[in-house]
């Protein structure tokens, strides 16, 4: 199973990238880091710089057809910057158009708002996104993990790093199922 992890060039919450990545790899999957520019992306531990990670593909090189699923890590700055990139937004939308699973954690649902894929869907996120999600036609819930199969594909969402065990378990179950 090939899983795309889509990020901006910086501002990614490191643990929200590394834990799902490692879970996919341990399950025998092939994770790929997709970003808006080649090179490396800068992760953060909340507001402090953490590690950098090599980009496997740029958004311009990536296609939903080449992957089985999409993971959107959070961090406040990451999705906020990423949603300004029209090609990245189009890539997210294409995963939904093709009915492929999409998993988003923390602030990452901002990309889903921008991609206009939330109407009729139920999801969770960091609490500050509640109004944005509701205004985009989604229903926000305060749950550790939320799975929504309304519409094409399955949407898996979680609120914060503390939810990562449930998020990763649910993601892997979806990929295996």
The residues carrying an active-site annotation are: 106-107
- Let me know: does 69 contact 102? Beta carbons within 8 Å: yes
CA distance 119 to 30: 31
């Amino acid at each position: 199973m090939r899983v795309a992890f889509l990020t901006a060039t910086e501002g990614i919450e490191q643990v929200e990238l590394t834990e799902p990545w490692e879970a996919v790899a341990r399950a025998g999957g092939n994770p790929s880091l997709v970003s808006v520019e080649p090179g490396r992306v800068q992760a953060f531990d909340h507001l402090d710089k953490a590690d950098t990670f090599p980009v496997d593909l740029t958004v311009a090189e990536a296609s939903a057809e080449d992957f089985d699923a999409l993971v959107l890590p959070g961090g406040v700055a990451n999705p906020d910057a990423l949603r300004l990139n029209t090609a990245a937004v189009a890539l997210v939308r294409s995963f939904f158009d093709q009915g492929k699973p999409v998993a988003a954690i923390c602030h990452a649902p901002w990309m889903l708002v921008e991609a206009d894929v939330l109407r009729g869907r139920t999801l969770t996120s960091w609490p500050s996104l509640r109004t944005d999600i509701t205004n985009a036609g989604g229903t926000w819930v305060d749950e550790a993990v939320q799975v929504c199969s309304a519409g094409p594909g399955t949407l898996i969402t979680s609120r914060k790093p503390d939810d990562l065990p449930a998020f990763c378990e649910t993601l892997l179950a979806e990929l295996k199922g």
